[in-house]
Amino acid sequence: MIDREHPLSVVRQAKLLEISRGAVYYRPRQTSEADLALMRRIDELHLEHPFMGARMLRRMLLREGIRVGRRHLGTLMQRMGIAALCPQPGTSERHPGHKIYPYLLRKVAIRRANQVWALDTTYIRMARGFVYLTAVVDVASRRVLAHKVAITLEACHACEVIEQAFARFGVPEIVNTDQGSQFTAEEFTHAVLARGSRLSMDGKGAWRDNVFVERLWRTIKYERVYLRAYDGVSIAKADIAQFIDWYNTERPHSRLEDHTPEQTYWALLPAMDVAA
């Protein structure tokens, strides 16, 4: 947005764009090896104990001999896009100006494919640095319908992955997300509502609302990501895509009577959708 060759000064351009001069001159620093190792451990603890906030995680880390300040821990959690999944003030990462849609799945029996899709984004550690994985999951069958690995948490990535799912599998009755800014952004909400789907959002800190995708993240990380040290984004993309394909088509799921998500998806798809 800032053109350093423009006749207008950088200060004037920043003022017209309503951004601070500090943001213009800021140069991001590479995340240190120590912070990357700490983020990996935070990610593991968050999967095991999603209700823990920065204070409790700090106590857990201290028991392991890892000393870290609560504020620094909170900063790393924010960078990773994770927060404690329990009711508490000030933990939501939603944008204050974005509309929040009501949660529509309470007491709803989800028995059909394409009845409810869930979206979420998770942090993925690499050998150096990290990326974010966004996925669309059919709740009834646990099938991953589309996914994307990206280097930022932006609404455009959520839009791209949901549009991929729409193009391949049609339109669900309900799309459920959390209150992350990438999902509350008008760009994303319009993409969903324009297709005729209803939009549902998890309650603030309501971990049960997000349990299906959280279980998927646990599977992907413990069965694949934590066993790898990705040297680059392209390698991470290829390997995660390969695992998701295997997960959909080969991995039996205990909650699906040992059928795969792929088998269950087609079995639970309404007859009219199959015909179409």
Q: What is the pLDDT of residues 8-48, one digit of tens each?
A: 776 776 676 566 655 555 455 677 888 888 988 998 888 88
Among 187, 184, 207, which Cα is nearest to 100's?
184
Do 184 and 201 fall within a single domain?
yes
- Tokens encoding 118: 């869930």
Do 161 and 257 fall within a single domain?
yes
pTM surpassing 0.85?
Answer: no
Residue 54: inside a domain, yes or no? yes
In this structure, the number of other CB atoms found within 10 A of the CB of residue 218 comes to 14
Do 44 and 69 fall within a single domain?
yes
Do 158 and 58 fall within a single domain?
no
Share of the chain above pLDDT 90, in %: 46
Q: pLDDT below 50 — which residues of the chain?
A: 26, 87-92, 275
Residue 152: inside a domain, yes or no? yes
Residue 105: inside a domain, yes or no? no
Tell me the pLDDT tens digit for each residue of 151-189: 888 899 999 999 999 999 999 999 999 888 899 999 999
Do 134 and 148 fall within a single domain?
yes
**Contact status, residue 191 vs residue 162, Cβ threshold 8 Å:** yes
Q: Which amino acid is at 61?
A: L
Do 193 and 207 fall within a single domain?
yes
Do 25 and 35 fall within a single domain?
no
Q: How far is 72 from 35, CA to CA, in rounded Å?
A: 10
Q: E strands of 81-197, at which residues?
A: 116-125, 130-138, 144-150, 174-177
Do 122 and 259 fall within a single domain?
yes
The tally of domains found in the chain comes to 3
3-state secondary structure of 152: coil
